[in-house]
């Protein structure tokens, strides 16, 4: 059974875009299969084997998620994020404004998938 302390340690060591693959593998090694990060307040929910679930705390103020998403604008914004220089809270606010509800990391597939409020996949990326 994984703990928030383990998750926090891994996040502090590897939770950067350039070490994202190692981050996901480290989470997999402690038993996390997937986790959802919610844009509204930055809290995450972690899921493991046998229904093990753990929720983390909120990380920033509450943002209102736009009702609809312009997928093209969202994809353009994500290109800016990939170029760097965008902080986590700034990115979360922009994603909320773009109608993104959450992203899901899959530690087996090594993917990050972004969803709108209707549960529609906006982007599914492989992580190296």
Mean pLDDT of 50-58: 94
CATH number, domain at 59? Answer: 3.30.1810.10
Per-residue model confidence as pLDDT tens digits over 35-49:
999 999 999 999 999
> What is the residue range of 99's domain?
4-126
Dump pLDDT digits (tens) for 74-96. Answer: 999 998 888 877 888 999 999 99
pLDDT, tens digit (0-9, with 9 covering 90-100), for 24-33: 999 999 999 9
100-106 and 44-48 as β-strands: parallel, antiparallel, unpaired?
unpaired
Global pTM?
0.91
Per DSSP (E only), the strands in the chain are 32-38, 44-48, 53-55, 100-106, 111-116, 121-126
Task: Determine what percent of the chain is predicted with pLDDT higher than 90.
Answer: 79
- Position 24 scores a pLDDT of 96
Would you state the pLDDT for residue 81? 85
- pLDDT (0 to 100) of residue 80: 86
């Amino acid at each position: 059974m994984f703990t928030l302390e383990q998750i926090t340690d891994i996040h502090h060591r590897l939770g950067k875009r350039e070490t994202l693959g190692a981050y996901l593998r480290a989470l997999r090694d402690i038993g996390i299969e997937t986790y959802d990060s919610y844009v509204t307040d930055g809290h995450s929910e972690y899921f493991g084997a046998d229904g093990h679930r753990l929720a983390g705390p909120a990380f920033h103020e509450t943002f209102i998620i736009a009702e609809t998403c312009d997928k093209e604008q969202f994809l353009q914004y994500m290109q800016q994020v990939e170029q760097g220089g965008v902080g986590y809270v700034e990115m979360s606010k922009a994603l909320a404004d773009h109608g993104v509800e959450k992203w899901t990391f899959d530690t087996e597939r090594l993917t990050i998938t972004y969803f709108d409020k209707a549960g529609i996949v906006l982007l599914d990326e492989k992580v190296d």
